Amino acid sequence: MSSSPAVHLGPDQREDLADAVREGGGRLVDLADAEAVVWAGGASTFPDSLPESVRWVQLPSAGIESWIEAGTVDTERTWTSAVGAYSDVVAEHAIGLLLAGMRGIVGSSRASSWLPDEVGPPQSTLKGATVAIVGAGGIGRAMIPTLTALGAEVIAVTRRGLPVEGAAETLPADRVSEVFDRADHVVLAAPATSETAALVGADELAAIGASGWLVNIARGSLVDTDALVEALNDGTLGGAALDVTDPEPLPDGHPLWSARNALITPHVANPQHLQTGALAERVAENVRRFATGDELVGVVDLDRGY
């Protein structure tokens, strides 16, 4: 590794990322001459093979399931994702979804006549409420200052259960089952792995309760969709605000579209036009770290799947 690492940028020469590579002290080269690769495209466009000289690859997304499924990520070099780079933007969307649900905005937006308070959609407040954040990584941690400023208490769930700043309590992942009946509302921000598949099913939805809202800005696979539809329609769950679904895209006519108290946004918590600056910052930082031999940000752990 040199003090001015040779970096290949693909699949095209995006000006903002090229500037970020140079800002980090790197120089742009062809793939054959590269020590590192910064990739701004998807797994389907990634090269079939890399030169042995490539020791590090920066991926553009926080979630890397598609890269693992494609067999792209290997153990021969270091891979980094963009995990944490988009946290503030996604956290903002998640809080918007939660507020839209619990303040009755979802129901009011579907009304066709003026409804007085006593017959309109039920409302609640974050003041004095308990919000559980399952998977309190970058996104979850970015939510906490706003939630607490509005008077909520936060229970954070992380892999190891180490204290999370601003949370009233932090639990390890193996105790996640405890939070569903303790929290007024639950936000899912955990990675999609074999351990988190269908993490939230009928029992968990019933535990959240008829006045609670489930917010999912992680991956649709964390929730049993059939159980969710049933819980929404029979009133077992107060409501669900989803930026991700299973299946995804959610087909026209799927019962979630017409489910009671469901708010769906089409996986837009991190829109493309807001990603560019955040990814460029991550690229510049990691190129600097690569040049100096420091630990890179967002290193992928294949054993964990993220």
- Whether residue 1 lies inside any domain: the answer is no
- Which candidate in 93, 141, 185, 219 is catalytic? 219
Catalytic (active site) residue 35: no
Kindly report the CATH number assigned to the domain that includes residue 16: 3.40.50.720
Query: Which range of residues forms the domain containing residue 41?
Result: 6-85+272-292
pTM for the full model? 0.88
Note the pLDDT tens digit of each residue in 144-156.
999 999 999 999 9
Q: Specify the long-range contacts of residues 222-229, CB closer than 8 Å, at least 24 apart.
A: 222/188, 222/190, 222/192, 222/196, 222/197, 222/198, 223/188, 223/198, 223/199, 224/198, 224/200, 225/256, 227/200, 227/201, 227/202, 228/200, 228/256, 228/259, 229/255, 229/256, 229/259
pLDDT value for 304: 84
Shared domain for 133 and 223, answered yes or no, is yes
- Which candidate in 159, 182, 260, 267 is catalytic? 267
- Which candidate in 159, 248, 260, 288 is catalytic? 248
Shared domain for 101 and 186, answered yes or no, is yes
Least confident range from 21-35, 102-116, 140-154, 288-302: namely 102-116
- Residue type at 79 in one-letter notation: W
Shared domain for 125 and 162, answered yes or no, is yes
User: Quick check: bond before 11 cis, omega within 30?
Assistant: yes
Shared domain for 119 and 31, answered yes or no, is no
Shared domain for 95 and 68, answered yes or no, is no
- Whether residue 180 lies inside any domain: the answer is yes
Shared domain for 77 and 45, answered yes or no, is yes
Sheet with strand 27-28: strands edge to edge: 27-28, 6-10, 36-39, 56-58, 78-80
How many structural domains is the chain composed of? 2
Note the pLDDT tens digit of each residue in 213-265.
999 999 999 999 999 999 999 999 999 999 999 999 999 999 999 998 999 99
Shared domain for 151 and 241, answered yes or no, is yes
Catalytic (active site) residue 219: yes
CA distance 25 to 288: 6
Shared domain for 129 and 256, answered yes or no, is yes
Shared domain for 56 and 113, answered yes or no, is no
- Whether residue 66 lies inside any domain: the answer is yes
Catalytic (active site) residue 248: yes
- Whether residue 204 lies inside any domain: the answer is yes
Shared domain for 220 and 92, answered yes or no, is yes
Q: Give residue 121's pLDDT band: very low, low, confident or very high (50, 70, 90).
A: confident
pLDDT at residue 31 above 80? yes
- Whether residue 297 lies inside any domain: the answer is no
pLDDT value for 26: 98
Q: Is the dihedral of CA 244, 245, 249, 253 positive or negative?
A: negative
Q: Give residue 168's pLDDT band: very low, low, confident or very high (50, 70, 90).
A: very high
- Whether residue 119 lies inside any domain: the answer is yes
- Whether residue 112 lies inside any domain: the answer is yes
- Whether residue 246 lies inside any domain: the answer is yes
> Span 38-46, mean pLDDT?
95
Q: Is the dihedral of CA 118, 121, 127, 130 positive or negative?
A: positive
pLDDT value for 274: 83
Shared domain for 243 and 231, answered yes or no, is yes
pLDDT at residue 2 above 60? no
Shared domain for 169 and 237, answered yes or no, is yes
pLDDT value for 88: 95
